Amino acid sequence: MKYQDLKAGIRSHLEDAAEDFFMVGYFLRQISENALFTEDGYKSIWEFAKGEYGLSTSSASRFMAINARFSIDGGEHMAEKYIGMGVSKLQEMLGLPDEELEKVTQETTVREIRAMKKRQEAPRSFYGFPKTERPEGSLLTTPGCGDGKYDCFSCCRECAIRQEPRHCRTAPLGNPFPCTRVNNEEWKKNIAYSLYKDECQLLHPELAPVREGDKEPDPCCLNCTNKTCFNRCDVAKKKDEDEKKQSQEELRKQQREAEAKRPEPSDRDIKAFYDWAGIKTTDNITAEDLKKRYKNAGGGGGRGAALQDYTGSARGIRINHKKELTWVQIAKRIKEIQEAEKKKADFVERSNGAQKNVRDLIKQQEEKRRIEAEEKKAARAAAKLQAEAEEPGKPEIIDGDFREVEDEPMDDPAQEAAKTRDERQEPEPVLCDTCEHEGECAGKKTHENGCMGYEEKAQELEAEAEPNPEEYARFDVESILKKEKGYLDGGREADCPAKFIKEHKILVDALTLLLEKMDAEGGAED
């Protein structure tokens, strides 16, 4: 029969007569065995029965069991001896063994069938079988029912003759331990209030996967997908916890691998955060303080800024999307920047002080030279005035009284030489107009190198000349070069700005070339 015919048959038999429940069970079995309910999007036969016809799981299960027990070869026809029996009677007969079932007739009432159950000499299992009896000396000792057909250690059914608890699926054979949910009255009370009671495999074995071999249901909390159920067994909870830990460890591993691929934050990145946070060289930076201030913080100037982004966490801080630094690491890097900033400030201060001292010294030298030049100029002017005052003039005789006097001794050698020349009637020597010495330049307006007073006069003029501030010697260049090299080396150590380094590098190179040129020319002044 086709799926639509089966559905229509169920509906018609449900509406026509109560005795047609047998055919309803047959149709449900056909749909269940062929999984036809999936065509309408149902996941199980129980959802199908509930959704299509409003049948509960227990009612649908009962109809299917009656059809399977009282039909001819499991087909759609009921055995002749059971035709006409109502659903209540057949339902009670499900719990009778085959030998007791033969005693039931059309005239047997439901009350009598129940009495027959009570009169059974020994209790029966869920399947209606007595305990399995083993012959004396048998090597088989596994408890169960149905002459070995069912074993207690794997049975999940509620049973009156259970001889040992059901074993946990994860228990080893050498050390088995029982399932904590089967035949547990306390658990039954708790699960009755659970949100998942209608989906519990232990309460509804028909929802559980079927075991290969005996085709019996095998319910277990390990098979349940409702991992938030508080009534799951400890084994399932431990498995859930292990899976969660494994998943978290795998996630952490992926995060570590991704983190390892990120580049290390550069000194420029750390300096950008240093400036953004407004940290000073005098601040006492500790890892605990940074964590307290920035563990839940984030920000940055966006693309193009020195600090594009930073994100703090309980572990550390990530700057410009690079590898995360712990709070201890970032505190250490910031302290290094503070030390570098202090060195730079000290160097700039020393450099400025040295330059100021040089400028002051130059001013002092210039002032000293100016004063000396003024003193020399004043001395020359005074000497000139004195010479003019001492030069003898031509006396004017107004009233002369001539008398003969004796010669006075002459102390001046020049006077004696002049007197000697007068006595010898020698001509007066001609002197140089510039240096007043006899020589090749005598009688000329300027002296020549042959003049004996040339060098003396030149030295005197050189001593009297004012120093030229634009003239310098090799010593001056070498002294300035040494200072500039000191500034350049100190600037590199203190990580000064590039402009500062560049300017002093140019000065060092220029002074070096000038010094080499002066050495090549014999140390002459430029």
What percent of the chain clears pLDDT 70, i.e. is strictly above it? 81
- DSSP labels, 396-452: PPSS------PPPP---HHHHHHHHHHHHTPPPPP--TTT---STTTTSSS--TT-T
Query: What is the spatial order of strands in the sheet that 325-326 belongs to?
Result: 298-299, 310-312, 316-319, 325-326
Q: What is the pLDDT of residue 243?
A: 92
User: Is the pLDDT at 526 greater than 50, yes or no?
Assistant: no
Specify the residue for token string 């002032």: 367
Closest CA to 206 of 47, 37, 389, 406: 47
Phi and psi torsions of 425, nearest 5°: 60, 40
φ/ψ of residue 78, rounded to 5: -80, 145
Q: Which two tokens stand for residue 419?
A: 């007197």
- Whether the Cβ atoms of residue 146 and residue 125 lie closer than 8 Å to each other: yes
Strand partners, 167: 178
Residue 325 confidence (pLDDT): 93
Range 75-87 average pLDDT = 82
For residue range 343-365, what is the model confidence (pLDDT) as tens digits? 988 888 887 777 777 778 788 88
Dihedral sign from CA coordinates of 66, 67, 68, 71: positive
Give me the numbers of helices (H) and strands (E) for the chain, helices first please.
16, 6
Inter-CA distances, 473 with 56, 257, 433, 467, Å = 117, 67, 35, 13
Mean pLDDT, the chain, integer:
80
Q: Is 362 helix (H, G, I), strand (E, B) or coil?
A: helix
Containing 310, the helix (H) or strand (E) segment is: strand 310-312
Rounded to an integer, the average pLDDT of 41-50 is: 89
Report pLDDT for 334.
Answer: 93
DSSP reduced 3-state for 68:
helix
Mean pLDDT, range 446-471, rounded to an integer? 56
Instruction: Give the residue from 470, 469, 471, 466 showing the smallest Cα distance to 525.
Output: 471
Torsion-angle region of 213 (φ positive above 0: left; ψ -120 to 50: alpha; else: beta): left
Q: Are 143 and 151 in contact (CB under 8 A)?
A: yes
**pLDDT beyond 90 at 336:** yes
Global pTM exceeds 0.85? no
Computed on alpha carbons and rounded to an integer, the radius of gyration of the chain in Å comes to: 63
pLDDT of residue 490: 82
The confidence score (pLDDT) of residue 525 equals: 45
Would you place residue 442 in the very low, low, confident or very high pLDDT band (cuts 50, 70, 90)? low
Tokens of 445: 């307006």
Reply yes or no on whether the pLDDT at 239 is more than 70. Answer: yes
Q: What is the pLDDT of residues 413-428, one digit of tens each?
A: 555 656 665 555 555 5
**Exposed, middle or buried: residue 90 (CB in 10 Å: 0-12, 13-18, 19+)?**
buried
Q: How far apart are CA 428 and CA 418, in angstroms?
A: 8
Question: CA-CA distance, 72 to 91, in Å (whole number)?
Answer: 17
Q: Report the pLDDT value the prediction gives residue 413, as an integer from 0 to 100.
A: 55
Q: Is residue 165 scored above 60 in pLDDT?
A: yes
Residue listed under structure tokens 């005197």: 460
Beta strands 144-145 and 150-151 are: antiparallel
Q: What is the pLDDT of residues 248-296, one digit of tens each?
A: 999 999 988 988 899 999 999 999 999 989 999 899 999 999 999 998 9
For residue range 127-141, list pLDDT tens digits in order. 888 888 888 888 888
Q: Region 381-406: what's the mean pLDDT? A: 60
> Is pLDDT of 144 > 80?
yes
Q: What is the mean pLDDT of residues 28-55?
A: 89
Q: H/E element holding 364?
A: helix 327-390
> Among residues of the chain, what percentage have pLDDT more than 90?
18
For 177-227, the pLDDT digits (tens) are: 899 888 888 898 888 888 999 999 988 988 999 888 878 889 999 989 898
State yes or no: pLDDT of 316 exceeds 90.
yes
For residue 274, the SS3 value is helix
